[in-house]
Structure 1
Amino acid sequence: MSRWEPGGEERLRAAAIELFLEFGYENVTVAQIADRAGLTRRTFSRYFADKRDVLFAGSERLPDALAEALRRMDPSVAPYPAMLQALVDVGGVLGERVAEHAAERREIIAGSPELQERGQAKFAAAAAALATALRERGAEPSAAQLFADVGIAIFRRGFEQWTENGREADLASCIRDAAGQLAEAAAGAAYPPSAASSPA
């Protein structure tokens, strides 16, 4: 067997996803993944740190990608719309990279508390990076964190719509649509009454 197997990374990823869907993430071992791919555990370790990494490899770059996209926005654009455009820009690039197996990954993660926790940590890091970049654009700290949290919710909803619809539209368009849905819903929402004006 050659030191570097042609297409080894994708063979391992495809094998892992097949096994996760068949038996559940928690019931699959690295050895089984390597065996299904016709490779060795040593080859697996060249591409992935562990079996979770098969699903999350590259996700550690998301926080920096979002923050840098926001920093590239025209300084004259207000923080919130600048953030929305940054989300769309990153979604355009990300959609091309993760299109294959996107729906399967989402299904596997939804069925595993361990993977859901990993996903939450990933998005929390992305929100923190966005909040920092928003403060750099002049947003007040509390507003920056609120915008960032809303932005990540929009990003996640756009991703969900993208996978639910069989990727008929591109990810960037789905993120834009999610932002529009929120804006439309919020436009008709009244502020809750203050404690002082609430009936006794």
Structure 2
Amino acid sequence: MARWRPGSTGRLQQAAIELFTENGYDATTVAEIAERAGVTERTFFRHYGDKREVLFAGQQEFQSGFVDAITDAPPGTPAMELSARALDAASRALQEARGREHARARYAIISAHAPLREREQLKLAVLAQAVTDALVIRGIPDLPAHLAGDVVVSVFSTAFARWIAPGETRDLLDLQHEALAELANLAGTITAA
């Protein structure tokens, strides 16, 4: 087996998804993932601390897609427009990098294991805080920034679940825009007590 070959990270991720899907997460070993990817276990551990990390690789880049869109927006952009820009940028990157089938397989694996679901929820909580922090840095007051951070995660999660649903063919961006429009309609019907 080669000591090092380019593309190890991608091959490890693909091998892990395939094996988790075929054999189950708990029954799959790091050794099996490495073998399927054509690398050594040592190479696996150079990239990931454990097999769980394969499913959460790229978390920082994913979060940066949201934050960078907020940071790079023109001065004076309102909070909800910043949120929409963040959603669009991150969704484009997600679709290009992974694709729907990979996302479906990953989600099925995570959904079947409580500790992985907890990790996914933590990832989303960290994302909401990162979006909130980016909005505050842009001068958005604390309350609207927190609400917008939570809205971004809620809209993303809702659109993502619809995007990976069996038979769904619409683009993730379209599903997010639909969710944002529905949220605006809903907000328009709320009256203060």
Q: Whose relative contact order is higher, 1 or 2, with alpha carbons under 8 Å and at least 6 apart?
A: 1
Contact 2:132 2:149 in 1 (8 A): yes
Match of 1:159 in 2: 160
Alignment of 1:37-76 (within 5 A): 37-76=37-76
Offset at 1:82?
1.7
Structure 1 unaligned regions, length at least 5: 195-200
Structure 2 unaligned regions, length at least 5: none
Contact 2:2 2:39 in 1 (8 A): no
Q: Distance in 1 between matches of 2:77 and 2:186?
A: 23
- Supply the AA of the counterpart residue of 1:95: Q
Offset at 1:6?
5.1
Alignment of 1:4-23 (within 5 A): 4-5=4-5, 7-23=7-23
Between 135-144 and 108-117, the greater mean CA deviation after superposition: 135-144
Contact 1:79 1:138 in 2 (8 A): no
1:109 and 2:110 correspond: yes
1:88 and 2:76 correspond: no
Q: 1:165 to 1:177 in 2, by over 3 A?
A: farther
Offset at 1:150?
1.0
Aligned length: 192
Alignment of 1:71-150 (within 5 A): 71-99=71-99, 101-150=102-151
Contact 2:12 2:37 in 1 (8 A): yes
TM value normalised by structure 2 = 0.87
Q: 1:88 to 1:165 in 2, by over 3 A?
A: farther
TM value normalised by structure 1 = 0.84
- Asked which structure has the greater CA Rg, the reply is 1
Contact 1:89 1:172 in 2 (8 A): no
* Identity, % of aligned positions: 39
Contact 1:12 1:44 in 2 (8 A): yes
Q: CA RMSD in A?
A: 2.2
Contact 1:87 1:151 in 2 (8 A): yes
